[in-house]
Structure 1
Amino acid sequence: MEDHSHSHSGNSSCEHGHDDTPLPRTALVTASGALLALGMLLQWLQAGPSMLPVIAFACATLAGGLLVFPAAWGALKKGRLDMNVLMTVAVTGAWLVGEGAEGAAVVFLFALSELLESWSVGRARRAIASLLTLTPETALARQPDGSFHETPVADVYVDMEIQVSSGESVPLDGEVISGSSSVNQAPITGESVPVDKKPGDVVYAGTINGEGSLKVRVTKAAGDTTLARIIRLVAEAESQKAPTQRFVDRFARIYTPAVFVVALLVGLLPPLLLHRDWSEWIYRALVFLVIACPCALVISTPVSIVSGLTALARRGVLIKGGAYLEVLGKLCALAVDKTGTITRGQPQVTDIITLGGMSEEEILHRAAAIDSHSAHPLARAVVQAAQARNITWQQAGEYQSVTGRGATAMMDGHPHFIGNHQMAHEMGVCSPEIESRLAEIEERGESLAILGHSPHAGCTGAVLGIISIGDTMRPEVPEALRRLHAAGLKKVVMLSGDNQRTADAIARLAGIDETHGDLMPEQKIQHIRRLMEEHGYVGMIGDGVNDAPALALASVGIAMGAVGSDTAIETADMALMKDDLTQVADAIILGRRTLRIIQFNVAFALAIKALFLILAFTGHTSLWLAILADTGATLLVILNSLRLLGPEIKFK
C-alpha cells in the first residue's frame, strides 16, 4: 500500500530527511540519545579531558542531525522554511554561542519526536495493512482434468472452482456451490458471530472457514475482492485531508516564516537599540525558534484521523476520508430510508387468520397452490411460508391473474381466489367481522392476502382465511435508535416511498421521531434540504443507488450493507459492511470522539506554544527545556490520538 504517513503539507509539516539516509532511523536516534547522556555524565563527573564531553555532544548532534540537516537543505533548495530549517538554525546557533550540550539535546529530542510521529502513524497504518495478510497467497483451484492444485490467487480467474478446507481463510470472493459450514466474517463485516453458509451463499476473501469444507465458484479476481476494495478505500481516505488538518497546514505555512522573522527581531533589536548583551538575546531568539516549532500542532490531526478511520474499518465501517469523519462527529439529524434500512426489505407472512374451519396449514397449502404461479413479492412470501412449514402442493389449475386485485384458480373442482381487500369486496364475501379483522391488519401497516371460495352456481362464496404479510422490522433497530439519540442526535426522520400508513406503523414500532411516506426521490431531496436548514449537519442512510440524489446532498451519505453491492461503496461517503443500523451509532460516537480528540490536541498544542513563547521572551526557559516541552506535547498528542485504536474501546 502506498505510504501516506506524512500526508500533511511539506511546507508546514515535520518533513523528514530520514528516508534519504542509509542508516536506520531508530539506530540514529538511539545513538544520539546515548551520546548525549554520555556527554552529560562526563560533564557532571568532570572526568577525563575537558574535550571529551564536547566530542560526545558533537557526535550526538551529528547522529541526530543526519535525520534533520539533509531535510533542511532540501527545503532551502525549494525556497521553503520548514521545521527542519528552524531546528538546524537553532542547533547551529547553540553551538556558536557555546551551548553544545543544549544543541545536542535539541537535535536529539527533535529527532525523537519525529521517530514517535512516524511510529504512531505507522502503527495506525499497520492495523489496516494487516488485512493484507488475511488472504492466503494461493488457492486450491480445480484444473481442467478435475483435480485440485495449489494456484497463486493472481492466476485464479472468475468462474473457476476452488476448495476451502476447514479452518482455512477464503482466498477470493465467490459463491458456495457445494458443502456447508460456518464462516467467521468479522475481518470484513465486523460480525462477531460466524455466519452459516450453504450452496448459493456468498463468501468473501479474508474470512475464515469453520468446521466444514466448501467448494466455491470465484466471482471476483484478486484485485477486485471486497477486501482489496476496503484496503484501497482506506488508503485513499487517509490521503484526503480533514478540514482541521487543512487549517493547521495553512496556519503552519504562514506561521513558520513568521517565527523566523520574530526570532531575528528578538536576537537583533534589544542589542542594537537597547545595547543589551548579544549572546543573551541571540540565545533567547534560539529558544524562541525551538519552542515555536509547531510539531505537536501539525501531528495533532493526521494521527487522530488515521486512528479513527482504522478503528471504524476494523468494525466494518468504511469512511472515504477525514473530512467525512469530522462531519460525522458533528451530525445533528439523520434521515433514513425504510425498506432495507429500518425493515428487512423482504415481505414475510406474519400471521394467518382461519375463518372457514380450516387449519393454518390447509390455508397455506391452498394459497401456495395459487400463488406458486406468480412472481409478485407478496405471492412469493406466501410460497416461502408454506415451504418453511414443509407443506407440499400441486399448482392450481385455470390460474388467472387479476391486475391490481390478486388471482383466481380452480382447486378440487371449485373456483378459489386470493387477493386484496378490494377483490374480497368485488366477490361479495366481506362481512362486518372480516372488515374488522382487515382493519386491524391495515392499521399495523401490513399487506394482506384473502383466500376465499369464489361465488359460483349454487354457492355464495366465503372467506377461508386471511394471511397478513409485512416487511418486518430489523430486530436491532429500536436499540440502534436509542443509541443514536444517546450519541447526541436531535432527530431521526424516516423518508419512505411506501404509503404513509405503513410508514407510520413501522415508525411507531421503531421509535422514529418523524415520518414522511409516499415520497418520490425528488421529494426526499426537499426534506433533506429542510433538515439541513434546521440542523446544519444531516446524514442520510439509503441503499446507495435508488437514494443516490439524497445521499449526495446530505452532509454524509451512508450506504447500508455494502458487502455484495459494488455501487454502494462507490456512491456513498460512508459504507456499512453489514445490514446493521447499530454500526451507524458506533460510527457517530467514534466520529464525535475523534473530533473531541482533535480539538483537544490542537488547543493543547497551541496552549503549550503560547506558554513557552512567553517564557522564552522573559528569559525563563532554556533550549533543552523548550524542545523537551515540544517533544512532550507531541508525545501526549500522539498517545491521545492512538487511544482511538485501543481494543478496550466499547461503543455504548
Structure 2
Amino acid sequence: MNGSVLKPKISLGADSIRIEDGRIFAGTDPQLLRCFARRVLGLAELRSLALLPGEDAALIRFEVDAAHKKAFLARLSAAVGGQGQAIADSALPAWRVSEAVTFHRHGDLISTWEILGDSRGKLQLRHPGILQDPAFGLAAEQALRGLPGVKDASAIRSSGKLWVSYDGRIVTPAALLRAVERPAAHGSSPMAVPQAKPVDLTVANASVGLATVGELVLPLATPVCAGLLVVTNFGMLREAGQQLRRGKFGTPVWTTALLACSIVSGQVLAYALTDWSFRYWSRRWRKDVATHSQALARETIPAPEQARFLSTEGIEVMTPVEQLTPGHAIGAAEGDLIPVDGRVIEGSALVHETHLSGAATSVRKIPGDAVYAGSTVIAGRIQIEVERTGQETRAAQIAQSMARTVAAIPGDPALNQRSIALVDRTVPPTLAAAGVGLVVGDLFTVGAILHQDWLSGAELAVPLETSRDIKLAAGRGALILNPSALQRFHESKFVVLEDQPALRLRALDLGAMRSRIPETDALLQHVAGAGLYLGDERSAALARACAERGLVVRQPELQAMDADSVTVRDGKHRIVLRGAKPVGDTTAHLEVEIDGTAVAELEFRRAARMQAAEAVTRLRRHGFQVFLVSDQPEAETAALAQQLGVELHSGDLSVERKTLFLEGLRRRDVRPVWIGNSRTSPALREHAHVTVALAGGADLADDVAVDIVLLGESLEPLADIAALSAENRERIVKTCRTAMIPNLLCIVGAFAGLLNGITAGILANIAVYNVYRSAKASLRASAASRNQPARLTV
C-alpha cells in the first residue's frame, strides 16, 4: 500500500483486529503514530499492539469474553476517534518509529517486552529481537547486569527469551523492563567492544565428577582423574620445572607441589575442587570486567528517553531522543542531562562537563559555545542546535574508548604479571610452612597448608581495582587508553614535558578593585559568591583572592543569567555582575551592581606564572622530576621553564634529538612519562614508559596511539593521575590482604590436625570471597561517586 490507502481496511478476528491505513501506520508522522498508540493502549482489555510500518498496518490483540466483545469494539472505535482516556506520552517506551514494534500491556505498564513469568525473583521475558540478532540478546544482558539488585541475566536465542534473576527488595520488574528497552530503542547492537574469551569449566567439571565417583563409588576413577589433572595442567608443570632450574620458587612451583601432594596422599578430589575454584574465580572476574566495560559505556553515554524539542513555532514538546536529527533545536534547563552534541543558539547556562571536556570547573555556556551529550545543566536555561546524536557524540567516543580499555584488562601482559608478582611473594613462606608440616606431621598436613589460595585473590584484585580507577580517572578528565597505564605511571618518577601552546596559557588573577564601599573584604566575599555562576577563569580568580584573605565563599541564589551578566539574590540584596568572559590570553573586568547601584569595578590581569605551574608543583610533590623539552631557542625555553616551576630543561631539540634523549634515559634505567600532543611520533612513544596527550577539542574517534589522554587543555588531571596511580598500588595490596586470616587459618588448622585438603580448600575460598567482596565494593563506590549530581565547582 505504502501510503496509497485512502480508507482504512479493518479485519476482525476472534481476539484481534487488524487496521490498515498508510496515513497513520507508514511511520512518516511520528506524532500521529504516538497519538494512536496512546489512545488504543488506554483500554485495559488490550493485551498488545503491533505497529507494522512496512505493511502500513496495526494489529491489536485483546482479551474480552464474547458477551462484552461488541461493547469493547465500540469503545475501541471511540478511543481511536479521540474519546476515552489515553495513556500519558511518557508511559510509552522509546522505539524507532520506522521499525516494526509490539507493545505489551502488563497492568499499568506498557513495554516492548513480553512478560512470560515473574516468581520468586525470577523474571522471564521474551522479545523477537533475541531471535533475529545475537547482539540484541547480548545488549539486553549487559543492560541488566550493571543494575543494583540484578544477580544474573541470560538471553536464549533459540527461544527468544531472557531470564533475569533479581532481588525484589532492590529493583522492580518495571525498572528491569525499562532498562532492557533502551538498547532496543537506540539500536539492538551494543558497542563493538572485544570481550575476553570466557574460562571453560568443562574439563574442571569432569575432573570433579570423576574424583567424586572415585571417592564414593568406583576407586578406579581416581587414577583416571589424576591423569586428567596432570594432562590439563601440563603447561604449569613444565613452567615449574623451568623455574626450579633457575632457582626460582613462584606460582607454578606452588601449584605443582599441591598437585603432587594431592596425588601421592590420595586427595585427588581435594585438588580437583581447588582446580575448579581457580577456574571459577578466573571466570567470575572476567565476566565482571566484561559487564563493567559495558556498564561504563551506559553510564557515559546519556540515556534520557525524551528531550525538550522546539518546534518551528517555538513550542516546546517532549520528544523521544532517538527522533532528534542534526538541525533540530532543543531546550535544556536546570537539572537536565543534555542528550546531544550541539551549539548554543540562545540563552545562558552553567554546565558540568569535566568527564567530557576536561574542564576543571563548571562552565558557562552562551550562544556560539559547544555543548556535549552527557553534560548536566546546573543553572540557567539554553537552546541548542543539534549537531551529533547517539554513537556520533563525543560522549559515545569516550565511552567506546573506556569500554575497550576495561575489556582489554584480561589480556594485558603487564597486569597479569602484576598479579603473578603478588602471588609469588607468598610462595616461599607457604612452601616453607609446608616443609615444616612434613617434618612434624604428614602429607595431609602438607596438603592442608598448600591449599591456601593467594592466586585467585590477586587475579581478582588487580583487574577489578584497575577497572575502578579507569572510571575515576575519566571523572577527573583523563581517559585511560591502556589498561596498565596507571601501574606504569607509578613506576616512573621522571616526567618529560614537551613544549606546546597549552603550557603557555597564563593564569588570570584579580588585579585592581575600585570600590565605593569601604568594606572591601565583605564586598569581595559577596562578589565571589555571585562569581560562582560566571563559569570561567574569573570564578577561580575571585575564589583565590578570597582564600588569600581567609574569606569563606558562599553560594547565593541565582536569579538570572545571560551572555555578559549574572544576577543573584544574596540575603536581602540583589547583586549583578556585568562583563564579557575572557577569551584566549586577554584580560577581563567586572562591573558590580548592588540593589540597582553601581558600587565597584574589578579588573583581572594575566599573571607572569602559567596555568600549568600548579600541576607541575603537584607532580613534584608526588616525587616526580619534571624536564621541559622544546624546539624553541634555549633562552625562550629557559624562561618558560622558570614560569612553569620546572628546574630541568633543554631547547633547540628536533624530534630526532628528543628521541635520542628518551633513548638515553631508558639506557640509564629511567622510565620517563612523555607528555605531548596526540600526534606524538612512533619513535618517541617507543622509548617512553608512559605517553600522555592533551586532546583539547580533538576528535576522539580518530586513533590516538597514547596511553592516557587529558580531555582538556590543562595539565591539572595529570596530578590526579599521579595520586590515583599510587592509590591503585596501595589499594590492590590492601584488598589482597583481606585473604590473610582465612589463609593463615589453613596453616593453623593443618598443624592442629583439624583440616584436610577439602576443608582447607573451603577456607581458601572464603579468603578469595573476601577479596572479591572488597574489590566489588570499590567498584560500587566508584559508580556512586561518578553518578552523584553535578554541582557548582571552582
TM-score, normalised to structure 2, is 0.47
Please point out which of 474, 477, 481 is paired with 1:320.
Answer: 481
Deviations 1:312-342 (A, max 9, x none): 1222221113222221221221111233342
Please name the residue that 1:329 is paired with. Answer: 490
Paired residues of 2:506 and 2:585 also in contact (CA < 8 A): no
Alignment of 1:462-501 (within 5 A): 473-475=609-611, 477-489=612-624, 491-501=625-635
Q: Residue 792 of structure 2 corresponds to which residue in structure 1?
A: none
User: Is 1:570 aligned with 2:704?
Assistant: yes
Rate the CA distance shift 1:385–1:582 in 2: closer, same or farther, 3 A: closer
Say if 1:135 and 1:205, in contact at 8 Å, map to a contact too: no
Supply the distance in 2 between the matched residues of 1:492 and 1:86 (Cα, whole angstroms). 56
Residues 141-220 of structure 1: matches in 2 within 5 Å? 141-142=309-310, 149-189=317-357, 191=359, 193-220=361-388
Structure 2 SS opposite 1:566: coil
Distance in 2 (CA, whole Å) between partners of 1:346 and 1:479 is: 10
CA distance in 2, matches of 1:383, 1:313: 26
| Residues 221-241 of structure 1: CA deviation (Å, up to 9, x unaligned) | 320212111211111111223
Quote the residue 1:47 is aligned against.
Answer: none
Find the residue that maps to 1:196 and give its secondary structure.
Answer: strand
The correspondence for 1:311, drawn from 463, 472, 475, is 472
Cα distance in 1 for partners of 2:770, 2:381 equals: 49
Q: 1:538: how far off?
A: 1.4
Counterpart amino acid of 1:243? P
**C-alpha separation in 2, matches of 1:244 and 1:575:** 20
How much has 1:483 moved relative to structure 2? 2.1
**For the structure 1 residues 339 and 17, does the alpha-carbon distance in structure 2 shift closer, same or farther, using more than 3 Å as the test?**
closer
Per-residue CA deviations over 1:363-399 (Å, capped at 9, x if unaligned) read xxxxxxxxxxxxxxxxxxx999999689xxxxxxxxx
Matched, 1:75 2:193: no
Say if 1:219 and 1:139 are closer, same or farther in 2 by CA, change over 3 A. Answer: same
2:759 pairs with 1:624: yes
| Aligned 1:237-276 pairs, distance under 5 A | 237-241=405-409, 242-247=412-417
C-alpha contact (below 8 Å) 2:497/2:675 kept by paired residues: yes
Give 1:94 shift: 7.2
Partners of 1:541 and 1:643 in 2: how far apart?
29
Q: Distance in 2 between matches of 1:299 and 1:140?
A: 44
- 1:311: Cα distance to partner? 2.0
Q: Which residue of 1 aligns with 2:640?
A: 506
Structure of higher RCO (CA pairs closer than 8 Å, 6+ residues apart): 1
Q: Quick check: which has more Rg, 1 or 2?
A: 1
CA distance in 1, matches of 2:662, 2:701: 22
Cα distance, 1:541 vs structure 2: 1.4
Structure 2 contact 506–606 (Cα < 8 Å) conserved? no
Distance 1:513 1:386 in 2: 28
Match of 1:213, SS?
A: strand
| SS of 2:628 mapped into structure 1 | strand
- Give the distance between the partners of 1:536 and 1:550, measured in 2 at CA: 15
Q: Which amino acid aligns with 1:165?
A: A
Provide closer, same or farther for how the CA distance between residues 388 and 128 of structure 1 changes in structure 2, counting only shifts above 3 A: same
Q: Offset of 1:17 from its aligned partner?
A: 11
Distance of 1:575 and 1:541 partners within structure 2: 10
Higher share of residues assigned strand: 2
Hey, what's the Cα distance between the residues in 1 that align with 2:607 and 2:661? 24
**Aligned partners of 2:373 and 2:395 also within 8 Å:** yes
Q: Contact 2:496–2:674 at 8 Å: present in 1 too?
A: yes
Whether the 8 Å contact between 1:473 and 1:506 is mirrored in structure 2 is no
Distance 2:762 2:749 in 1: 13
Change in Cα spacing, 1:608 to 1:536, as seen in structure 2 (3 Å) is farther
| Contact 1:124–1:645 (Cα < 8 Å) also in 2 | no
Q: When you count helix as a share of all residues, which structure comes out higher?
A: 1
State how far apart, in whole Å, the 2-side matches of 1:546 and 1:121 are. 30
Counterpart of 2:655 in structure 1 is 521
Overall identity of the aligned pairs, in %: 20
Aligned to 1:531: 665
Q: Report the residue type matching 2:689 in the other structure.
A: S
Deviations 1:44-93 (A, max 9, x none): xxxxxxxxxxxxxxxxxxxxxxxxxxx99x634xxx44xx5666667667
- Residue range with higher mean Cα deviation, 600-609 or 298-307: 600-609
- Within 1, Cα distance between the matches of 2:377 and 2:290? 30
For residues 496 and 118 of structure 1, do their structure 2 counterparts lie closer, same or farther at Cα, with a shift above 3 Å needed?
closer
- Residues 1:298 and 2:452 are matched in the alignment: no
- 2:388 is paired with a residue whose SS is coil
Q: Which residue identity does 1:571 align to in structure 2?
A: A
Q: Secondary structure at the match of 1:522?
A: helix
1:342 corresponds to 2:503: yes
1:470 & 1:502 partners in 2: Cα distance?
19
| Structure 1 residues 486-536: Cα deviation after superposition (integer angstroms, max 9, x where no partner) | 2232x2111123332222112112221311223333332222222333343
Deviation string 1:164-190 (CA, Å, 9 cap, x unpaired) is 234321111112222222112244356
1:423-462 equivalence runs, <5 A: none
Q: Which runs of 5+ in 1 are unaligned?
A: 6-15, 28-70, 253-261, 263-269, 271-279, 351-381, 391-468
Q: What is the aligned partner in structure 2 of residue 592 from structure 1?
A: 726
C-alpha contact 2:420 2:455 (8 A) present in aligned 1:
no
8 Å contact 1:560–1:579 — kept in the other structure?
yes
Backbone CA RMSD of aligned residues: 5.5
- Would you say the 8 A contact 1:141–1:150 is kept in 2? yes
Deviation at 1:481, TM superposition (A): 1.9
The C-alpha deviation readout for 1:188-228, integer Å capped at 9, x for no partner, is: 35656321111221111111123332222333232021211
Q: Write the distance in 2 (CA, Å) between the matches of 1:522 and 1:592.
A: 32
Structure 2: how far apart are the matches of 1:163 and 1:603? Answer: 51
2:669, 2:785 → 1: CA distance?
A: 29
TM-score, normalisation: structure 1: 0.56
Deviation at 1:543, TM superposition (A): 2.4
**Would you say the 8 A contact 1:561–1:580 is kept in 2?**
no
Structure 2: tracts of 5 or more residues without a match: 1-137, 144-150, 157-161, 168-197, 220-266, 423-430, 432-437, 512-581, 591-604, 787-794
Q: Distance in 1 between matches of 2:652 and 2:420?
A: 47
| Residues 544 and 567, structure 1, Cα contact 8 Å, conserved in 2 | no
2:470 partner SS: helix
What residue is the counterpart of 1:462 in the other structure? Answer: none
Question: Per the alignment, do residues 638 and 328 of structure 1 end up closer, same or farther by CA in structure 2, a change over 3 Å counting?
Answer: farther
CA distance in 1, matches of 2:463, 2:749: 29
CA distance in 1, matches of 2:608, 2:274: 65
Q: Secondary structure at the match of 1:219?
A: strand
CA contact (8 A) 2:743 2:763 kept: no
2:215 and 2:359 mapped to 1: Cα distance?
Answer: 57
Q: Secondary structure at the match of 2:364?
A: strand
* Cα distance between partner residues in 2 of 1:492 and 1:207: 33
